[in-house]
Amino acid sequence: MSAHISIPMYQRAVPQRYRLTGKLCKSCGKINFPPKAVCKYCLQGASFEDVRLSGRGAVYSYTVIAGGGAPPEFETEARCKGSYPVLIVELEEGPRVITQMVNPPEEGIAIGMSVQAVFRKIYEEEGVIRYGFKFSPA
């Protein structure tokens, strides 16, 4: 039993998951990612412009999910890899994102290290492979 994200629901977030499309607030100029109906910075603006984020950022915090602690939809991944890292990345444009890390450095992950978004398989549900972003050392 896994967290249920329907195919249409996943599809609606494709601009964010495939292309890191953020929403630039026309009132204050800051970028919301993921999108909000009202800007989370000025709490006023409700009109936005699409901007594609660079995918460049730095590790703000990290954890390593151990095999037994993975949610069911990531169980196979955890079994194959033993464990997998999850990061909070602060993007150079400002927003923070939560993401898995691929190719973690052998010497360990450090807060502040540079990372870059890459396009990867996330998981599978309802027979459909779901793609999205993960981050790799830059």
Partner 1 sequence: MENVAIIGAGQTKYGDFPGMGVKELFAEAYLEMLQSVDRGLEQQRIGAAYIGSLSAGSGFQLGQLAPLLMGHVGLPHVNAVRIENACASGGYALYNAACAVASGKFDMVLAAGVEKMRDVSSNKGRYWLGVSGDTEYERLAGSTFAGIYALMASRYMHEYGLKREHLSMVAAKNHCHAVANPKAQFRKEITIEQAMQGVPVAHPFNVWDCSPTSDGAAVVLLCNAKIAKEFTNKPVYLKGFGAASDYLAIHDRDSMTRLLATRRAATEAYKQAGVGPEDINFAEVHDCFTIAEILAYGDLGFAEEGLAQYLLEEGFTRADGKLPVNASGGLKAKGHPIGATGCGMASEVFKQLRDEAQEPSRQIKNARYALSHNVGGSGGTAAVFIYQRGDA
Instruction: Tell me if residue 32 falls in helix, strand or coil.
Output: strand
User: x/- contact string, 19-38, with partner 1 (CB under 8 A)?
Assistant: ---------------x----
The reply to whether 88 sits near partner 1 by the rule CB under 8 A is yes
Residues in 106-125 at the binding interface with partner 1, rule: CB under 8 A: 111, 122-123
| Sole window of 21-29, 48-56, 97-105, 113-121 interacting with partner 1 (rule: CB under 8 A) | 97-105
Q: Is residue 40 near partner 1 by the rule CB under 8 A?
A: yes
Residue 124 C-alpha from the chain's centroid: 17
**Least distance from partner 1 to the Cβ atom of residue 3, Å:** 5
**Closer to partner 1 at the Cβ: 51 or 65?**
65
CA distance 128 to 120: 14
Cα 115 to Cα 138: distance, rounded to the nearest angstrom: 4
Spatial contact of 88 and 60, defined as CB atoms under 8 Å apart = yes
Told to check if 76 binds partner 1 by CB under 8 A, we report no
What letter would DSSP give residue 54? -
Query: Which class for 72: exposed (0-12), middle (13-18), buried (19 or more C-beta within 10 A)?
Result: exposed
Give residues in contact with partner 1 (CB under 8 A).
1-3, 5, 9, 13, 34, 40, 60-66, 68-72, 74, 77-78, 83-84, 86, 88, 95-100, 111, 122-123, 130, 132
